[in-house]
Structure 1
Amino acid sequence: MKALLIVDVQYDFLPGGALAVPNGNHIIEGINDIVERFEIVVATQDWHPDGHFSFASSHEGKHPFEELEIEDGKHQTLWPDHCVQGSKGAEISHDLDTNAIQAVIRKGMDPQIDSYSGFYDNFRKRNTGLSGYLKERQATDLYVCGLAADYCVFYTIMDAKREGFDTFFLEDLTRPIDHKGYAKARLIMENEGIELINSKNIQ
């Protein structure tokens, strides 16, 4: 069974938002055009508490987009405050056909751990319940779109593959924050056997 996963189409990732993805709003019409072709439609929602560890404002003297070294040699990119629980910026865009969305999976709620993927936090300590939901609904083929291509979409796609779904990346229905980072992510996805397709070619 085919499922569509819409990643983080929230106001803070759209033009005018706290962490706006360039031209992120351009994908919404295309997503609305395809939702009726799927038996299952799920969205993820970044949902951070105030003072989240990933916010530059939580670290004295640090600025957005700086790297912070954390445990075991891992690094955390520091972000502007974004998608704070209950804020307008955290809302899923009202321009999206939200009536088609059957479940919303929230992520990034642990104050100390970021969560790019819709499946797990960045340390893979906790799952979000997304995999269980999709498997319970008997989803086999997962088509992924949303924001941002080089971060949350990329990590979600990689985890979807690990979770055993036949995974398709709807490349026309995403936008990256950084084009160099996206080029690297794209190559990794291709090497992992992820199918990169245009939404016009959905089977």
Structure 2
Amino acid sequence: MPNYIDKEVKFIIGKKMDACFAAFDKDGDGLLSIDEFEYICRALFRNDRGKIYGVDEKQLREIFDIFDINSDGFIDSKEFEMCWNRWIKICTRPRSAIIVVDVQNDFISGSLNIKNCSAQHDGLAVIEPINNILDTVPFDAFFHSLDWHPVDHVSFIDNLHMRELDESSPISRDNAKLYDTVIFKGKYQLEQRLWPRHCVQDSWGAELHKDLKIVDKAIKIYKGTNPEVDSYSAFWDNKKLAKTTLKSQLDDKNITDVYICGIAYDVCVGATAIDALTSGLRTILIDDCCRGVDLVDIEKTKERIVGCSGVIVNSCQVKAMVEGRDRRPELGYKLAMEIKKSLNNNNKKIID
């Protein structure tokens, strides 16, 4: 690694656009080549101990091409201005929110205690690490999601008699067991996993666990309130028919990065993370602050998140990331792809 990367990283962190451009324009021609842009990325993507994260060569080219607006093979000072304002500044100074998913009594010691599921995880184990990061990490916003089901909710196995199954359902009403998946007849054509009755509105089981820290400015997001449609994600119901207020509140606070944790890893946590990524947010799962239902499904959830440019970290790494001292290339790539999407949409509007 060239020594000048260590010296010139201060131009990135110090928010000095012109100085940054000049520092990495090594041949002084007023243009950044892809090789010079690579040095910016090597200065940008590193952890709080100075270790440089490598950027995949293909992804490096994709990012470079986004900011090479006139496609001449270089980034000039005007093009760099967009790169600086829409990409570098966010990578170095993100606005971060934590979404604590469904740390409720029923999932820890109540009717849907995840200890009784195949992974045999103890939901209580998430509380201490979550409390620690709530106490120590300077998030810009705090959210808690809660399953908040009416008594006649479609997901409860003891409500199975209330609705007709579709002919395509792989399991009949008489043969259906707890945790099986059936398909209900009707306009939703709903594929539904059957759960014990849980998190009924205003019940003890639906309350957040008493030992979980709730910061004063935390916002609660209630989901699963429609009796006919389940809702794993804190953003949308499972059929994408209705959304919660979560995305609009994140937008109001100019949040760029969301840190997601809670219960259950492979169900509501994973669904929330996927919807966050789909919504264009840089998404980080906090691994040791999650517990799940099925070990195989947990691994599938992790693979899916990583495959969508999400990041999975341990809680001890969160503070440096939120403070912009640990900057991951996966998140930089995700942001660049969102910028590309925005530019393409704007061009389409102009053409239309």
The two structures have a TM-score, normalised by structure 2, of 0.56
Larger mean CA deviation between 59-68 and 101-110 belongs to 59-68
The match for 1:31 among 118, 121, 130 is: 130
Count of matched residue pairs: 202
Distance 1:128 1:166, change over 3 A: same
Match of 1:107 in 2: 223
Which has the higher relative contact order, 1 or 2, with Cα contacts under 8 A spaced 6 or more apart? Answer: 1
Match of 2:255 in 1: 139
Match of 1:68 in 2: 182
CA distance in 2, matches of 1:51, 1:63: 18
Paired residues for 1:7-18 under 5 Å: 7-14=101-108, 16-18=109-111
Larger mean CA deviation between 67-76 and 1-10 belongs to 67-76
Give the secondary-structure state (helix, strand or coil) at the position aligned to 1:98: coil
Q: Deviations over 1:119-139 (max 9, x none)?
A: 000000100110001110111
CA distance in 2, matches of 1:141, 1:80: 34
The answer to whether residue 100 in structure 2 is matched with residue 6 in structure 1 is yes
CA distance in 1, matches of 2:245, 2:214: 20
* CA shift for structure 1 position 74: 5.2
Paired residues for 1:19-58 under 5 Å: 19-21=112-114, 22-36=121-135, 37=137, 38-58=139-159
Q: Which runs of 5+ in 1 are unaligned?
A: none
Q: Deviations over 1:8-43 (max 9, x none)?
A: 0000010x2111122110110111111141121100
Amino acid at match of 2:123: G
CA distance in 1, matches of 2:292, 2:237: 20
Greater fraction of residues in helix? 2
CA distance in 1, matches of 2:217, 2:192: 31
CA distance in 1, matches of 2:141, 2:248: 14
Kept in 2, the 8 Å contact 1:48–1:85? The answer is yes
The match for 2:268 among 127, 152, 156 is: 152
Amino acid at match of 2:179: F
The match for 1:116 among 211, 216, 232 is: 232
* CA shift for structure 1 position 73: 6.5
Larger mean CA deviation between 143-152 and 175-184 belongs to 175-184
Greater fraction of residues in strand? 1
CA distance in 2, matches of 1:145, 1:100: 19
Kept in 1, the 8 Å contact 2:104–2:146? The answer is yes
The answer to whether residue 191 in structure 2 is matched with residue 98 in structure 1 is no
Amino acid at match of 2:159: S
Kept in 1, the 8 Å contact 2:142–2:215? The answer is no
Kept in 1, the 8 Å contact 2:233–2:268? The answer is yes
CA distance in 2, matches of 1:149, 1:142: 16
CA distance in 2, matches of 1:82, 1:63: 16
Percent same amino acid at aligned positions? Answer: 35
Match of 2:298 in 1: 182
CA distance in 2, matches of 1:137, 1:190: 26
* CA shift for structure 1 position 87: 0.5
Please tell me the root mean square deviation across aligned C-alpha atoms, in Å.
1.4
Give the secondary-structure state (helix, strand or coil) at the position aligned to 1:150: helix
CA distance in 1, matches of 2:152, 2:254: 37
Q: Which runs of 5+ in 2 are unaligned?
A: 1-94, 115-120, 162-173, 322-352
Kept in 2, the 8 Å contact 1:8–1:92? The answer is yes
Larger mean CA deviation between 38-47 and 107-116 belongs to 38-47
Match of 2:289 in 1: 173
The match for 2:310 among 182, 185, 194 is: 194
Based on CA coordinates, which of the two structures has the bigger radius of gyration?
Answer: 2
Larger mean CA deviation between 75-84 and 179-188 belongs to 179-188
Q: Deviations over 1:41-77 (max 9, x none)?
A: 1000000000201110111344321211236775210
Amino acid at match of 1:109: T
The two structures have a TM-score, normalised by structure 1, of 0.95
